[in-house]
Amino acid sequence: MKYFNYTDVAKLLSAADNIIGDKEKINFNKLAHFEKSDAASLIWIKNEQALKKVEAITANTVLCAPVYADALKGQGGIFVIITTENPKALFSKIAAHLFVSPVMPGIHLTAYIHPEAVIDSSSYIGPHVSVGKSKVGKGTVIHANSSIYDGVEIGDGTIIHSGVVIGSDGFGYAKNEDNSIEKFPHIGGVIIGNNVEIGANTCIDRGALGDTIIEDNVKIDNLVHIAHNVHIKHNSFIIANAMIGGSVIIGDNAWIAPSVSILQQLKIGSNATVGVAATVTKSIPDNEVWAGSPATELSEFKQRQTAIKNLLKP
Amino acid sequence: MKYFNYTDVAKLLSAADNIIGDKEKINFNKLAHFEKSDAASLIWIKNEQALKKVEAITANTVLCAPVYADALKGQGGIFVIITTENPKALFSKIAAHLFVSPVMPGIHLTAYIHPEAVIDSSSYIGPHVSVGKSKVGKGTVIHANSSIYDGVEIGDGTIIHSGVVIGSDGFGYAKNEDNSIEKFPHIGGVIIGNNVEIGANTCIDRGALGDTIIEDNVKIDNLVHIAHNVHIKHNSFIIANAMIGGSVIIGDNAWIAPSVSILQQLKIGSNATVGVAATVTKSIPDNEVWAGSPATELSEFKQRQTAIKNLLKP
Amino acid sequence: MKYFNYTDVAKLLSAADNIIGDKEKINFNKLAHFEKSDAASLIWIKNEQALKKVEAITANTVLCAPVYADALKGQGGIFVIITTENPKALFSKIAAHLFVSPVMPGIHLTAYIHPEAVIDSSSYIGPHVSVGKSKVGKGTVIHANSSIYDGVEIGDGTIIHSGVVIGSDGFGYAKNEDNSIEKFPHIGGVIIGNNVEIGANTCIDRGALGDTIIEDNVKIDNLVHIAHNVHIKHNSFIIANAMIGGSVIIGDNAWIAPSVSILQQLKIGSNATVGVAATVTKSIPDNEVWAGSPATELSEFKQRQTAIKNLLKP
């Protein structure tokens, strides 16, 4: 693996970042966890737990918050320290720029591409992917065995992991007088923005009459269900196994924890947080934290938990 | 898109349906939501919310319940009104007959079909589908990247979305005296009826000794787990992310809401409803509504919720 | 189907197992449930429910616990009884040795294999599987449409069902000062041991800096999410739709019931049991049973349930 030095790192630093030690000694060739690093590693310090083991740390370059610098300074196994407000972000940025190979564009010969699909030539389409009459933007990556139906638009720089299904029919039916079942039409599409990431085996249904919309920078984890006509706005995170019901609107910067279920037609406000495994049966205002089943605002959730615990006191 | 007129619609109407306005003016070429329709659209009115915006509606033909006809009549943007007891069902029926193209039969050249599989020539098998030694009926559609193991029978007119797995081994093991694990045999099959729909990335395991059975007209959403030897009877709906444990029997016309978990060996009665994210640990009689974790009959569920809320009162 | 007799069975019996009746009459050619068996069937008796219908049982050979032998002896439809402490395990063992065909090794011609992948020649790789720069051990089976990314090591005798994804990036991001999102690097791998079974459409993410590890004999059901850096130790069972958060450690012989959610960074002890649909927000000690949301030790869970029920009493 290639070694990186001060020149490589310097262009990624912010003005407030500070190098402690001899910047010419920056010379790493791998990313590592602080407990498994060696003299050629770049590491980052997450919290105080690392400081308890500080004497055992060996690393070429350490990224840490300024508050931890004193504890790290002078340790024999550490060559250079870079202080920064958000070491995780800087570590991620260095990884992205120096360690992650750019996508090799191309369509794998085993992929099926509809003759009228529009695939940007800078994108990557993996083995056994199926793409219907849809669009794929610049630098977008679609991993093996994903299925994109007709009528899907995917933006630039988006990553779609294996087994993802986008554009399947939503779950909509009507019963006739004789109790027979009519399938409600699903003639809408799916619009996926730029820099979205979609985890393995996640499913995003097409809209019934309008579109299902995932805006830029939304990050969706594995095994998530996004029903028809859902609209998820910028920068929101939807974690594993979540179930987002039909026509739900999720505002910007929301955080939907793992295994959450959100009933259809509800609105989740911008900057809202929904706690793990919550069952959301009411709309949630902006900036609030909700938890529980049925979900309530966090302070009420905590009061309920306390009240139930108190029942057990003698 | 082709235009449709009175003749096209008339054969789909019931005796009780009623046309208000000049039937010769029926002339639409698209399906739309009432807020996004134009003078060439067919729309339907779901509830009173639409009536609040009635002056802004533009549509060639409007389907609505008789009770809403007066509010719609005489609106300048509406050409023809058809009143019907169930406008969603009529809208779906018109969509199915006039707007949904029939399946183009055929087996995609990238699909793998076992040499002893029996696939009706009127069915469609999509890209990268794998079909073992199994049967597929008339007019059935299997979308891209689905996997059908050996020993699966799929009826007529059934739709299987992408990424579905049917016939994988159920989860069954036995421990030997030395704590080593034996895999319990799964030599049963899977039987899927007619007009079933199975959502993306749903998994249906094969039976251990007998079969797993999904009867006619059952509709299953995305990411549902159907364990070995489950039996789901006619017209039942299983919504997204549900977990149906081994040997569970679900009666006719049941409604299993999203994210429900049903423990193994239980019976869910005909016409039963299970509420969102419920954890079902007891069998449910016919015609009852259950909710909560652990699930109880709805009135008890509500009493519990009220009792917990009351704990918070000063 | 071939018939099996005493010689075939004898080598699979333990010293404590006991044949009642004429061992020369052992002559079966199929496995069956006791309610659907015939004179050529091998069956096993699970519990007392079978004894209620004992007069209707027809079977060549019956496996049962010693305590049930008297009730079965002398029934006209039963030829031979074998008593054993764990009839399910013996039934499974006989099935595995006599009825399950060995894997036919080979790589299906539609599979994609990275040129630097190392696949043992005794393994089976099914249709439309994608294997990156990874290793697959002896006698391992990978069913249709599974996706194995780069950097995955799979041991011997492991079964991977259809639609499984192993090695997708974990869900990790950091926010820059300008609120833009950096993807945290996922350069770790995935290590899967021997005799593991992984259910359909389950997802196992790669580690961020270290590896995600699944040890020998772990059995994972369908639609399970295993996040980055999870470590699951020997003989543990993870049932359908479970969500295992990042860096969770699960000890040996644990039982994680269906639809359980375990928050990131937690430790689940050896021999621990987590009940259906529990939400685990604290680490669980060895040998304990926990249930509920949030999960608590079983006796506290039961007290809570009782206390809530008591609220409803007049």
Q: Give A190's strand partners.
A: A152, A212
Q: Encode pLDDT of A33-57 as tens digits.
A: 999 999 999 999 998 888 888 888 9
Determine which one of B161, B186, B228, B231 is catalytic.
B228
Instruction: Please indicate whether residue A290 or residue A35 has the higher confidence score (pLDDT).
Output: A290
Q: Encode pLDDT of B13-70 as tens digits.
A: 999 999 999 999 999 999 999 999 999 999 999 988 888 888 889 999 999 999 999 9
Tally C-beta pairs within 8 A across A and B: 159
Alpha-carbon distance of B118 to B135, in angstroms, equals: 5
Determine which one of A161, A228, A231, A234 is catalytic.
A228
> Which of A128, A161, B36 has its CA nearest to residue C111?
A128
**pLDDT for residue A68 is more than 90:** yes
Contact by Cβ (8 Å): C155, C216:
yes
Contact by Cβ (8 Å): C187, C169:
no
Q: Encode pLDDT of A156-207 as tens digits.
A: 999 999 999 999 999 999 988 888 899 998 999 999 999 999 999 999 999 9
When pLDDT is cut at 50, 70 and 90, the band that residue C103 belongs to is confident
3-state secondary structure (DSSP) of residue A301: helix
Which of C165, C177, C263 minimises the CB distance to A276? C263
Alpha-carbon distance of A204 to A132, in angstroms, equals: 15
What's the pLDDT score for residue A177? 80
How many residues make up chain C in this entry?
Answer: 314
Alpha-carbon distance of A199 to A188, in angstroms, equals: 23
Alpha-carbon distance of A94 to A83, in angstroms, equals: 14
What's the pLDDT score for residue A111? 98
DSSP-assigned states of every residue in chain B: ---EEHHHHHTT--TT-EEES-GGG-EE-EE--TTS--TTEEEE--SHHHHHTGGG--EEEEEE-GGGHHHHTT-TTEEEEEE-S-HHHHHHHHIIIIISPPP--EE-TT-EE-TT-EE-TT-EE-TT-EE-S-EE-TT-EE-TT-EE-SSEEE-SS-EE-TT-EEEEPP--EEE-TTS-EEEPP----EEE-SS-EE-TT-EEEPPSSS-EEE-TT-EE-TT-EE-TT-EE-TT-EE-TT-EE-TT-EE-TT-EE-TT-EE-TT-EE-TT-EE-TT-EE-S-B-TT-EEETTTTEEHHHHHHHHHHHHHHT--
> Which of B225, B219, B223, B220 has its CA nearest to residue B201?
B223
What's the pLDDT score for residue A173? 95
Q: Encode pLDDT of C33-75 as tens digits.
A: 999 999 999 999 998 888 888 888 999 999 999 999 999 998 8
Which of A197, A200, A235 minimises the CB distance to C203? A200
Residue numbers in A near B88 (CB within 8 A)? 174, 184
User: Tokens at residue A221, please?
Assistant: 């984890």
Alpha-carbon distance of A61 to A51, in angstroms, equals: 15
What's the pLDDT score for residue A162? 98
Angle (CA) C13 C14 C19, round 5° = 60
When pLDDT is cut at 50, 70 and 90, the band that residue B147 belongs to is very high
Alpha-carbon distance of A211 to B247, in angstroms, equals: 38
What's the average model confidence in pLDDT over C188-214?
97
Q: What percent of chain A has pLDDT over 70?
A: 100
When pLDDT is cut at 50, 70 and 90, the band that residue B155 belongs to is very high
Q: What is the nearest CA distance from A177 to chain C, expressed in angstroms?
A: 36
What's the pLDDT score for residue A314? 72
Alpha-carbon distance of B253 to B157, in angstroms, equals: 19
Alpha-carbon distance of A255 to A78, in angstroms, equals: 36
Interface probe for C, chosen from B201, B221, B225 (most Cβ of C below 10 Å), is: B225
Q: Encode pLDDT of B181-211 as tens digits.
A: 999 989 999 999 999 999 999 999 999 999 9
Q: Encode pLDDT of A261-276 as tens digits.
A: 999 999 999 999 999 9
What's the pLDDT score for residue A54? 87
What's the pLDDT score for residue B102? 78
Residue B176 CA to its chain's centroid (Å): 42
User: Tokens at residue B109, please?
Assistant: 């050249």
Q: What percent of chain B has pLDDT over 90?
A: 87
What's the pLDDT score for residue C292? 97
Is A108 one of the annotated active-site residues of the chain?
Answer: no
Q: Is B33's CB within 8 Å of A223's CB?
A: no
What's the pLDDT score for residue A269? 98
Cβ neighbours around B105 below 10 Å, total: 16
What's the pLDDT score for residue A201? 98
Q: What percent of chain C has pLDDT over 70?
A: 100
Q: Who's near C51: CB < 8 A, 6+ residues apart?
A: C45, C68, C71, C72
> Which of A218, A240, A243, A244 has its CA nearest to residue A230?
A244
Tally C-beta pairs within 8 A across A and C: 158
What's the pLDDT score for residue A49? 85
Mean pLDDT across chain C, nearest whole number? 95
Residue numbers in B near C141 (CB within 8 A)? none
Residue A177 CA to its chain's centroid (Å): 45
**pLDDT for residue B1 is more than 80:** no
Q: Encode pLDDT of B99-122 as tens digits.
A: 888 779 999 999 999 999 999 999
What's the pLDDT score for residue C54? 87
User: Tokens at residue C74, please?
Assistant: 């002398």
What's the pLDDT score for residue A102? 78
Q: Encode pLDDT of A89-130 as tens digits.
A: 999 999 999 988 877 999 999 999 999 999 999 999 999 999
Alpha-carbon distance of C310 to C298, in angstroms, equals: 18
What's the pLDDT score for residue C136? 98
Contact by Cβ (8 Å): C250, C236:
yes
3-state secondary structure (DSSP) of residue A159: strand
When pLDDT is cut at 50, 70 and 90, the band that residue B88 belongs to is very high
Residue numbers in B near C93 (CB within 8 A)? 176, 182
What's the pLDDT score for residue C231? 98
All chains having 3 or more CB pairs closer than 8 angstroms to chain A = B, C
Mean pLDDT across chain A, nearest whole number? 95
Mean pLDDT across chain B, nearest whole number? 95
Contact by Cβ (8 Å): B227, B264:
yes
What's the pLDDT score for residue A52? 87
User: Tokens at residue A1, please?
Assistant: 């693996």
**pLDDT for residue C83 is more than 80:** yes
Residue numbers in A near B312 (CB within 8 A)? 300, 303-304, 307
When pLDDT is cut at 50, 70 and 90, the band that residue A74 belongs to is confident
Query: Torsion angle, CA of B124/B127/B130/B131, rounded to 10 degrees?
Result: 10
What's the average model confidence in pLDDT over A281-310?
96
Burial of B297 (0-12, 13-18, 19+ CB in 10 A): middle
**pLDDT for residue B305 is more than 90:** yes
Q: Give B192's strand partners.
A: B154, B214
Alpha-carbon distance of C137 to C143, in angstroms, equals: 15
